[in-house]
């Protein structure tokens, strides 16, 4: 064997350690990437990182485990389309709104109840005179059945995952009676009575529903006229957008 050939073989053997070193560095990088991803709760950034990692490794379709999902995330797959999720939520609320509007029309309640989809969800707004006598919180017996039927519509399976909030509102005319010391008292007890009826007769699970009263402090319009005060005396039933579920659970 010539000296030149021996020299070339020796040169090749002396550089084989680079292969092992490159493999070690690659494994070390993967290890730190996984550690970083497990500590990062921003799923969007996590997916971007996974895609970049896959590209760096030659597009081999590597998968990483999603911290929140508990399932494999394919770095080649498209991220979740949040607009599609929002569209599905909007469609559900619109479907329930149509059912409520149909019942309001058939039962002659369209002039006393309005429905509107807002960012926070579907709002059913009831004039207080529909269910309550002036200055009272007991639901009128002759109207309770209609409220129960509306509650059954709100118990549709398509929105069973939505929380429901009953909100009482008054005008700014002070009240001070033996039963109610303030408008706050009146608004809270009205909301509580509506909630209890929806639970006991409409079948809505109590863990889905909450009651609150705002008194005169969240008016829809100015209280400077009788028509304005009449608009502000109301009970709103809010079917919440599910994107607020975590916030509602923690309240």
Share of the chain above pLDDT 90, in %: 59
Mean pLDDT of the residues in the chain: 81
Residue 17 has pLDDT above 50, yes or no: yes
Q: With contact defined as beta carbons under 8 Å apart, do 100 and 115 qualify? A: yes
Distances (CA, A) of 46 to 49, 51, 59, 107, 127: 5, 9, 17, 52, 49
Q: Residues 42-79: pLDDT tens digits? A: 555 555 555 555 555 554 444 443 434 443 434 344 44
Q: Which residue has the tokens 């909030």?
A: 165
Asked whether residue 186 carries a pLDDT value surpassing 80, the answer given is: yes
Average pLDDT rounded to a whole number, residues 73-97: 65
Using alpha carbons, list the distances in angstroms from residue 242 to 98, 144, 155, 159, 221: 19, 28, 15, 9, 28
pLDDT (tens digit, 9 = 90+) per residue, 213-234?
A: 999 999 999 999 999 999 999 9
Q: Could you give the dihedral angle defined by the CA atoms of residues 212, 214, 218 and 224, in that order, rounded to the nearest 10 degrees?
A: 140
The C-alpha angle 42, 48, 54, rounded to 5 degrees, equals 135
State the Cα–Cα distance between residues 220 and 213, nearest whole angstrom: 14
Counted residue by residue, the chain has a size of 251
What the block records as the tokens of 127 is 């004039």
Name the class of domain 83-249.
Answer: alpha beta
**Alpha-carbon distance 43 to 32, whole Å?**
17
Run of H or E residues at 209:
strand 209-213
**Distance between CA atoms of residues 30 and 56, nearest Å:** 11
Domain ranges in the chain?
3-74, 83-249
CA 8, 13, 14: angle at the middle one, nearest 5?
95
Query: Global pTM?
Result: 0.67
Q: How far is CA 74 from CA 48, 50, 84, 228, in A?
A: 11, 8, 20, 56
Cα–Cα distance measured from residue 17 to residue 12, given in angstroms and rounded to the nearest whole number: 10
119-155 pLDDT tens trace: 999 999 999 999 999 999 999 999 999 999 999 999 9
- From 234, 237, 240, 238, select the one nearest 216 (Cα to Cα): 234
- Helix ranges (H only) for 63-117 are 82-106
* Average pLDDT score over residue span 163-192: 95
């Amino acid at each position: 064997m010539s000296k030149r050939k021996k020299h070339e073989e020796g040169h090749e053997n002396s550089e084989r350690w680079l292969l092992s070193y490159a493999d070690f560095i690659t494994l070390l990088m993967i290890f730190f990437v996984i550690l970083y991803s497990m500590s990062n709760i921003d799923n969007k950034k996590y997916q971007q990182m996974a895609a970049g990692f896959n590209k760096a490794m030659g597009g081999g379709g590597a998968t990483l485990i999603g911290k929140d999902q508990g399932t494999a995330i394919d770095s080649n797959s498209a991220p979740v389309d949040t607009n599609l999720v929002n569209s599905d939520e909007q469609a559900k609320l619109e479907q329930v709104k149509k059912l409520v509007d149909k019942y309001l029309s058939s039962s002659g309640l369209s002039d006393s109840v309005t429905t509107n989809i807002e960012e926070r969800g579907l709002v059913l707004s009831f004039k207080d005179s529909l269910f309550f006598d002036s200055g009272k919180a007991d639901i009128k017996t002759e109207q309770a059945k209609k409220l129960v039927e509306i509650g059954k519509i709100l118990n549709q399976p398509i929105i069973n995952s939505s929380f429901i909030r009953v909100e009482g509102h008054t005008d700014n005319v002070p009240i001070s009676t033996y039963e109610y010391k303030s408008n706050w008292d009146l608004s809270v007890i009205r909301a509580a009575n509506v909630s209890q009826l929806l639970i006991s007769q409409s079948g809505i699970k109590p863990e889905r529903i909450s009651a609150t009263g705002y008194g005169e402090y969240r008016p829809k319009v100015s209280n400077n006229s009788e028509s304005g005060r009449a608009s502000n005396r109301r009970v709103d039933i809010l079917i919440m957008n599910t994107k607020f579920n975590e916030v509602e659970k923690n309240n």
